[in-house]
Structure 1
Amino acid sequence: MPKRPFFYRETDGIRITVRPAYLREQSRPAERQYVFVYHVRVENVSGRTAQLMSRRWLIHDAIGEDTEVEGDGVVGEQPVIAPGRIHEYRSFCVLKSPHGHMEGQYRFVRPDGSRFEAQIPRFTLDAKARDD
């Protein structure tokens, strides 16, 4: 069984780390419902404050279904992340197969009004991955 990995990427001084996990107890494989949780850490490693305004996720299911999700902030928040600070949250998705992947972007604004996108690394969703 493969170990549950971390995925990370840095864009414009924003480091995004994701660690997904399969929720066996909440999944129903016989009904093609595979539930995954993912823990996201957004770290500001730049010297400038940034506010996370919105998100865009691309979710790919191994059966060939693609879903795009866009919205304001993350889990109901639009956090302001000062230099050296971290914002963490958890969310979940449901696939129809035991494998897939997700990736996307967070849109940020700085105090001077400048905007940028930080790339969310592509991460795999694998029902066979395990914790270590």
Structure 2
Amino acid sequence: MVSKISEGVEISVETFYQADYSNPLNGEFMFAYRITIENHNNFTVKLLRRQWYIFDSNGEHREVEGEGVVGVQPVLKPGENYQYVSGCNLRTEMGKMHGSYQMQNENSKHLFSVNIPAFEMIAPGKMN
């Protein structure tokens, strides 16, 4: 697991290889990741948008952005956390992701960016 605190919001990420949804012979490797967002601020925050940078070990990269996460824009009061699971497909056994969330201070309506730490996705057996 990797974690990072920026702007008073802690982001923790765990990754899982999804063997049942992968087909290595066809260059299809599926990973799930669980993200926990914790609000350490003394004000309520709302997650508005996400932006991801996804890198495959073959040199391919892509960007994904959009509103909220998994169809919602969670609101976290001070001390609260929100957890969700999503997925990423790669063409190789290894890759990495990082990104940011655009968040809003619900009191002042001030917008700010929270960094999502870089995390690796590695199929089991690749690092042997």
> Which category describes the TM-score, using the shorter chain as reference length?
over 0.9
Instruction: State the AA in 1 paired with 2:54.
Output: I
Partner of 1:41: 36
In structure 2, the partner of 1:118 is: 114
AA at the equivalent of 2:91:
K
Q: Which residue of 1 aligns with 2:52?
A: 57
SS at match of 2:20: helix
**CA deviation vs aligned residue, 1:8-54 (integer Å, no higher than 9, x gap):** 11011100000011011110000000000000000001111100000
Q: Could you tell me the TM-score, scaled by structure 2's length? A: 0.95
TM-score (norm 1): 0.92
- Determine helix, strand or coil for the equivalent of 1:25: helix
CA distance, structure 2, for counterparts of residue 126 and residue 48 of structure 1: 37
Structure 1: gaps spanning 5 or more residues: 1-5
Cα distance in 2 for partners of 1:8, 1:121 equals 7
Q: What residue number does 1:89 align with?
A: 84
Listed one character per residue, the Cα deviations across residues 67-119 of structure 1 (whole Å, up to 9, x for unaligned) are: 10000000000011100000100000100000000000000011211010000
Runs of 4+ more than 6 Å apart: none
- Identity over aligned pairs, percent: 35
Could you say what the CA RMSD is over the residues aligned between the two structures, in angstroms?
A: 0.8
